[in-house]
């Protein structure tokens, strides 16, 4: 599927969703936000898609808000601004809650909302040429819509620093604070993501979705009898599910499970 704002390719179960506005450094506007939300929703319901890779064309991953969009927003009413912000919040939640595993391929600059996209993905792999910045306060603004996801990724202390200072930081620092998982040389970025997606294609698709939801749920609740009961029910349910039975059977019979074919 191709559009002026993005391009999606699906091969061997891997959907690569490429932000396709390199001349604007893949900056956000209301059209791109709506398009990405709709495309992620479409990919959610495609059985052939096992993993979604989010990438950016050109030198930048995503440079945050588009200048022309910002010019339009300057004349918006408070209600217009609220609706606009909610659209961005919906995009972030759609990406964060996607049941398919997601990988951010960060080859260049990720600013503002671009940092939000990285934080919402399950796995983030950055090139050593990547850079990051939460630059909103330079404009007298705040990174509100992306803040829950960025803070969850890096922790409150780091979020306070980078929300307040608007410092630009490199991929090594992004890894140190937990925004990205790995930093690789630029010419090895595709190969590393290929290794990860190959590994994930061997995993049970329903199990990966359930494991992702498990991580979301247990991170937001105390460890008490209720959580113990909930997690016990989850593993009991998946053990007796068709996918769980197939996985256990394949392991015991020393063969590959059906979902790898």
Contact 45, 209 (CB under 8 A): no
128 vs 223, more confident: 128
| Contact present, 183 and 127 (Cβ < 8 Å) | yes
Q: What are phi and psi of 119, to 5 degrees?
A: -65, -30
Burial (Cβ within 10 Å: 0-12, 13-18, ≥19) of residue 134: buried
Amino acid 191: pLDDT? 97
Average pLDDT over residues 120-137: 96
The second-level CATH assignment, the architecture, of 203-260 is Orthogonal Bundle (1.10)
Of the candidate CATH numbers 1.10.1030.10, 3.90.226.10, 3.40.50.300, 3.90.1150.10, the domain formed by 6-200 belongs to: 3.90.226.10
Of residues 55, 56, 44, 38, the one with CA closest to residue 123: 55
pLDDT in tens, 51-86: 999 999 999 999 988 888 877 877 888 888 888 889
CA distance 122 to 119: 8
- The whole-number average pLDDT for the span 186-196 is 97
Rounded CA-CA distance 208/226 in Å is: 23
d(CA 65, CA 30): 10
Q: What is the spatial distance between Cα 33 and Cα 117, in angstroms, rounded to a whole number?
A: 11
User: What stretches of 109-253 show up as alpha helix (H) in DSSP?
Assistant: 113-120, 147-154, 156-165, 171-177, 189-201, 205-218, 225-239, 242-252
Please report, for the chain, the start and end positions of each structural domain, with discontinuous segments joined by +.
6-200, 203-260
pLDDT of residue 237: 86
């Amino acid at each position: 599927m191709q559009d002026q704002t993005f391009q999606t390719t699906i091969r061997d179960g891997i959907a690569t969703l490429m932000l396709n506005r390199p001349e604007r450094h893949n900056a956000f506007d209301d059209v791109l936000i709506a398009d990405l939300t709709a495309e992620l929703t479409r990919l959610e319901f495609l059985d052939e898609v096992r993993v979604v890779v989010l990438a950016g064309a050109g030198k930048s991953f995503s440079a945050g808000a588009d200048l022309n969009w910002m010019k339009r927003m300057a004349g918006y009413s408070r209600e217009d601004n609220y609706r606009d912000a909610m659209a961005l919040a919906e995009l972030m939640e759609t990406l964060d809650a996607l049941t398919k595993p997601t990988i951010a391929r960060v080859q260049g600059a990720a600013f503002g909302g671009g940092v939000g996209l990285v934080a919402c993905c399950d796995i983030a792999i950055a090139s050593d040429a990547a850079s990051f910045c939460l630059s909103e306060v330079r404009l007298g603004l705040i990174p509100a819509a992306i803040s829950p996801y960025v803070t969850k990724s890096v922790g409150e202390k780091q979020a306070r620093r980078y929300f307040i200072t608007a410092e630009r930081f490199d991929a090594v620092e992004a890894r140190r604070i937990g925004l990205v998982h790995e930093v690789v040389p630029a010419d090895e970025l595709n190969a590393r993501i290929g290794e990860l997606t190959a590994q994930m294609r061997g995993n049970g698709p329903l199990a990966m979705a359930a494991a992702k939801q498990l991580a979301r749920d247990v991170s937001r609740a105390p460890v008490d009898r209720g959580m113990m009961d909930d997690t016990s029910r989850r593993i009991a349910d998946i053990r007796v599910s068709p996918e769980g039975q197939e996985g256990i059977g394949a392991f015991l019979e020393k063969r590959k499970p059906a979902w790898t074919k």
